[in-house]
């Protein structure tokens, strides 16, 4: 298939591009550059062994998007393009509504105009708010706790309404839990601007000496060790799920909503210790007040993704930490770090991922 990947220069989108190319699909990236580096292109091309088209286009720019659709005749769209910082969304809600909701509406209009009717949407576990029960199933109650979360909830609803109005339109809503890690080559990974909002990139920056210690938000939750529990998922597993979701949507000719998580909860301190083992670095930390709005424990019931797509996460927390560290150590300044001639030696990968990435 020829696939438009909106936001494909970002963290998760770039990994999805590698997987899609390894399965023989053709990708074209549209990315505004609001949270990505143009340098990802060279690295992606090295990973897929072929040219990749990256267009600096904002999905809200209807004219530029119409030109892309007219040039390439896409079979499907993967929609990663969004702003994603929860704290920033509370300070600048309108920017988030404009970019994430306005962007989704404009993209759906461009798709409709071009007659492209298959969409894979990057949703989030944030749509469950503070879930009353774990593991969280897809039929749990939905709730927005902040403007970012609201954009994901509204976008899911807009897409659902469009599917109701046009019975030829198919959409897959993928609700990611906590994506971490990097491509095992160390060539692409997460490159946050400024101070990281999320736990894993913060740990990585402590490990390379960019920050002196981690602040653990809360040590008095009713969890295994008092720290918050989340469902961390390797970004390569997530990338595989996108290809599986797209291929299932086409073959079964139906839309769906699934959780993408491992089904296993890991506490902040368990992740810190796993990272220390994987990297050989000490991660100094102090336990501070809880972060407002945080839940004690959130992890997925991933059974539906397995049932529909045959997808199950393959990488464990040690592999997530190993690959996150590999990326950070090879690229202490993210994409501003010089591209090395040869990727550092690889450690073993799960069999399924090896097979799927073999073409990359």
Q: Count the alpha carbons within 13 Å of 68 in the hemisphere toward its beta carbon.
A: 31
From residue 222 to residue 261, the character string flagging contacts with ligand NAD as x (rule: CB under 6 A) and all else as - is ----------------------------------------
Q: Is 60 in the site for ligand NAD (CB under 6 A)?
A: yes
Q: Could you tell me the smallest distance in angstroms from the CB atom of residue 169 to ligand NAD?
A: 20
Query: Taking CB under 6 A as the criterion, which residues in 90-109 touch ligand NAD?
Result: 99, 103
Dist. CA 321–CA 329, nearest whole Å = 12
Sole window of 7-15, 62-70, 210-218, 274-282 interacting with ligand NAD (rule: CB under 6 A): 7-15
Q: Count the alpha carbons within 13 Å of 64 in the hemisphere toward its beta carbon.
A: 12
Residue 202 interface partner, choices ligand NAD, ligand WQD, none, CB cut-off 5-8 Å depending on type: ligand WQD
CB 108 within 8 A of CB 120: no
Name residue 120's beta-bridge partners: 78, 172
Q: How many residues bind ligand NAD (CB under 6 A)?
A: 29
From residue 39 to residue 58, the character string flagging contacts with ligand NAD as x (rule: CB under 6 A) and all else as - is -------------------x
From residue 151 to residue 190, the character string flagging contacts with ligand NAD as x (rule: CB under 6 A) and all else as - is -------------------------x--x-----------
Q: Is 142 in the site for ligand WQD (CB under 6 A)?
A: no
Dist. CA 313–CA 160, nearest whole Å = 27
Catalytic residue among 96, 128, 148, 221: 148
Selected from 14, 100, 151, 178, the binder of ligand WQD by CB under 6 A is 178
Q: Is 228 in the site for ligand WQD (CB under 6 A)?
A: yes
Q: Is 86 in the site for ligand WQD (CB under 6 A)?
A: yes
Q: Given the structure tokens 């993928």, which residue do they identify?
A: 174
Q: Is 198 in the site for ligand WQD (CB under 6 A)?
A: yes
Dist. CA 90–CA 145, nearest whole Å = 10
Dist. CA 282–CA 112, nearest whole Å = 52
Query: Taking CB under 6 A as the criterion, which residues in 259-278 touch ligand WQD?
Result: 268
Q: Does the active-site annotation cover 148?
A: yes
What residue ranges bind ligand NAD (CB under 6 A)?
Answer: 6-7, 9-13, 30-36, 58-60, 80-84, 99, 103, 122, 124, 176, 179, 198
Mind telling me the catalytic residues? 148
């Amino acid at each position: 298939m020829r696939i438009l990947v909106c936001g494909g220069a970002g963290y998760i989108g770039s990994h999805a591009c590698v997987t899609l190319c390894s399965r023989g699909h053709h990708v074209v990236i549209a990315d505004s550059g609001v949270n990505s580096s143009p340098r990802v292109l060279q690295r992606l091309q090295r990973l897929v062994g072929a040219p990749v088209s990256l267009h600096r286009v904002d999905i809200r720019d209807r004219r530029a998007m119409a030109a892309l659709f007219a040039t390439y005749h896409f079979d499907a769209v993967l929609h990663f393009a969004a702003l994603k910082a929860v704290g920033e969304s509370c300070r600048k809600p309108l920017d988030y509504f404009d970019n994430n909701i306005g962007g989704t509406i404009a993209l759906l209009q461009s798709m409709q105009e071009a007659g492209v009717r298959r969409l894979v949407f990057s949703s989030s576990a944030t749509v469950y708010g503070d879930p009353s029960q774990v593991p969280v199933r897809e039929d749990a109650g939905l709730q927005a706790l902040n403007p970012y979360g609201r954009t994901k909830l509204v976008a899911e609803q807009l897409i659902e309404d469009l599917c109701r109005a046009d019975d030829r339109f198919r959409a897959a809503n993928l609700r990611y839990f906590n994506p971490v890690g990097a491509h095992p080559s160390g060539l692409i990974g997460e490159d946050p601007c400024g101070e990281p909002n999320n736990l894993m990139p913060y740990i990585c920056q402590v490990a390379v000496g960019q920050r002196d210690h981690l602040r653990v938000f809360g040590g008095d939750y009713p969890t295994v060790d008092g720290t918050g529990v989340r469902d961390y998922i390797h970004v390569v597993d997530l990338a595989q799920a996108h290809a599986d979701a797209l291929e299932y949507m086409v073959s079964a000719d139906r839309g769906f909503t699934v959780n993408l998580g491992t089904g296993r909860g890991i506490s902040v301190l368990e992740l810190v210790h796993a990272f220390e083992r994987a990297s050989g670095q000490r991660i100094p930390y102090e336990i501070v007040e809880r972060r407002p709005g945080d839940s004690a424990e959130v992890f997925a019931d991933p059974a539906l993704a397995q049932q529909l797509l045959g997808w199950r996460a393959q990488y464990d927390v040690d592999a997530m930490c190993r690959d996150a560290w590999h990326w950070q150590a090879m690229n202490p300044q993210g994409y501003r770090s010089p591209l090395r001639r040869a990727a550092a030696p690889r450690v073993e990968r799960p069999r399924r991922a090896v097979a799927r990435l073999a073409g990359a």
